[in-house]
Structure 1
Amino acid sequence: MALAGRGVVVTGAARGIGAAYARAFTAAGADVVVNDLDAGALETTAAELGAHAVPGDASSEEGVEALVAAARDRLGEVDVFCANAGVARGGTEAVDERAWDVSWNVNVMAHVRAARLLVPGWVERGSGTFVATVSAAGLLSIPGAAPYAVTKHAALAFAEWLSMTYGDKGIRVHAVCPQGVKTDMLWNSGAAGRALMEPSAVTPEQVAEDLLVAMEQERFLVLPHPEVAQMYAGRAADPDRWLAGMRRMAAGLPAVTMGTD
């Protein structure tokens, strides 16, 4: 799709993948609203790009409503919404309820709440694009981080559901599923996370570039690490073999130390 003059919203845009998305959309001529909880860092990024900063919580119902209202006020139309904000919480099934609640609200319900506000208008006019930053963990999994793995699977499922429900009504959906990306989330993932992802980690700019190519080609899955497609196919073809391999891999790793609060 031609991006010049389009209204784009990117959450989690103060740094990392979100900032790279905003930079790429701005360079393509889009009018961009950026959002993040870190208001100070967000203002810096917005000033650098000439984007509109709307700080706040893009996961709560009230926060999403405020963001979409502010974006419509500044852009007129929201043509592309990038649900990029995410949290990485580690631990097993025994991790405390807060880790599950935060993960569910940020990684899944933020997407649902944004779609709830945007999709009716997009269907009425016959166009709109929803971008979900998921993770290869949503296609595969990750040892030692149950809240992250489970909610990223749910984020992928919701993106698939949006596409199958509204794809013939002019709405395009893209699920971005990288493995390691050189961001704070990777550096803070502990020894196990870095051992799994750092060797093949790509830059946020590469993820943004791959997204724009996928948008041009109208592809649902965005895979900055193409090998993930083969892993995903292997998982589907022989789940028992795949699970056995995951157990072997997990046994050789130190504990994942993603945030657990």
Structure 2
Amino acid sequence: MAMFSGKTALITGSGAGIGRATALKFAAEGANVVVSDIHAAGGEETVAMIHKAGGRAMFQLADVSDSADVAALVAGAVDEYGRLDCAVNNAGIEGRIAPLGDQTEANYDAIMAINAKGTFLCLREEIRHMLAEGGGAIVNLSSVAGLIGFPGLSPYVASKHAVIGMTRNAALEYGKAGIRVNAVCPGGIDTRMLDSLADQATGGSRSSQQMMDPLHPIGHIGTPEEVANLIVWLCSPEASFMLGAVIPVDGGFVAQ
């Protein structure tokens, strides 16, 4: 039997990248998958990929920085599939690269609204439903930028540190109620976000792989699927003693 047969998994920001890979992995393991993104085209494409492979999925448009959207998203998942067992709070943006003294308030607000407030709003709604159902598993997406500093990315670094703080606190508050909350911290992963950062940092003169491969002790950046494998495992019964963990999946980046 598939690991998540009869279970429901919600993944925000699953129209591309790590979110899409996670949605596909959950579907392959038998879950009913709720795909959510602020970009409908990408989200619908993820659903089509799941359907083509014989899985079950629905798409719901949502802005995670909007409390009404988040409440509707989680309620919609429960209405469609009758339960919410797993949630992956993946939606995030990188913003603009600049030293802190040159950062704009608008850039800071935009990043914090999605990465930090969005994670808070999603956690709040997911926990409320999981409490009523007797438990569940939640994985938040932080970053190696939640563990160390990155010059030029102060708002992003602040937002990802905030995700780790919320993860640990939620784990302590709800672990005894059967809700396991953990976080993963990807390093350089082959996604559009990394491409955007590379373009900003090098003016388009170097690809994300050219810029980031040498920075990882393993010798290369990672794939979305490599992160998805860890996320889905953390939601599985095999990770039943994992609570409040903050796990780098980074090819040794923060071990340096």
Q: Equivalents in 2 of 1:153, 1:85: separation in Å?
A: 15
Q: Equivalents in 1 of 2:81, 2:253: separation in Å?
A: 36
* Percent of aligned positions that are identical: 33
Partner of 2:183: 175
Q: Equivalents in 2 of 1:109, 1:166: separation in Å?
A: 19
1:114 aligns to 2:95 (yes or no):
no
Query: Equivalent of 2:234, from 214, 219, 227?
Result: 214
Superposed displacement of residue 125, structure 1: 3.7
For residues 31-42 of structure 1, the aligned pairs below 5 Å read 31-42=32-43
* CA displacement, residues 170-214 of structure 1 (integer Å, 9 cap, x when unaligned): 111121101100000011103648466344310001111122333
Q: Equivalents in 2 of 1:205, 1:105: separation in Å?
A: 27
For residues 25-174 of structure 1, the aligned pairs below 5 Å read 25-50=26-51, 51-89=57-95, 90-93=97-100, 94-174=102-182
Q: Which residue type is aligned with residue 255 of structure 2?
A: Q
Q: Which residue type is aligned with residue 25 of structure 1?
A: F
Q: Equivalents in 2 of 1:226, 1:188: separation in Å?
A: 20
* C-alpha contact (below 8 Å) 2:9/2:84 kept by paired residues: yes
Query: What's the secondary structure of 1:223's corresponding residue?
Result: strand
Query: What's the secondary structure of 1:144's corresponding residue?
Result: coil
Superposed displacement of residue 118, structure 1: 2.4
* CA displacement, residues 30-55 of structure 1 (integer Å, 9 cap, x when unaligned): 00010111111211111110320112
Superposed displacement of residue 124, structure 1: 4.1
Query: Could you tell me the TM-score, scaled by structure 1's length?
Result: 0.82
Superposed displacement of residue 126, structure 1: 3.0
* C-alpha contact (below 8 Å) 1:214/1:222 kept by paired residues: no
Q: Equivalents in 1 of 2:31, 2:80: separation in Å?
A: 13
Superposed displacement of residue 102, structure 1: 1.1
Partner of 2:54: none
* C-alpha contact (below 8 Å) 2:99/2:151 kept by paired residues: no
Partner of 1:252: none
Superposed displacement of residue 225, structure 1: 2.3
* C-alpha contact (below 8 Å) 1:211/1:222 kept by paired residues: no
Query: Equivalent of 2:212, from 178, 181, 197?
Result: 197
* CA displacement, residues 125-164 of structure 1 (integer Å, 9 cap, x when unaligned): 4311111111111011212111111111001111111112
Q: Which residue type is aligned with residue 212 of structure 1?
A: V
Query: Could you tell me the TM-score, scaled by structure 2's length?
Result: 0.83
Q: Equivalents in 2 of 1:124, 1:39: separation in Å?
A: 30
* C-alpha contact (below 8 Å) 2:13/2:37 kept by paired residues: yes
Q: Equivalents in 2 of 1:58, 1:190: separation in Å?
A: 26
Superposed displacement of residue 111, structure 1: 1.4
For structure 1, list consecutive stretches of 5 or more residues without a partner in the other structure.
232-261
Superposed displacement of residue 78, structure 1: 1.2
Q: Equivalents in 2 of 1:78, 1:128: separation in Å?
A: 7
Q: Equivalents in 2 of 1:61, 1:198: separation in Å?
A: 38
* CA displacement, residues 85-105 of structure 1 (integer Å, 9 cap, x when unaligned): 000023233311111111111
Number of aligned residues:
231
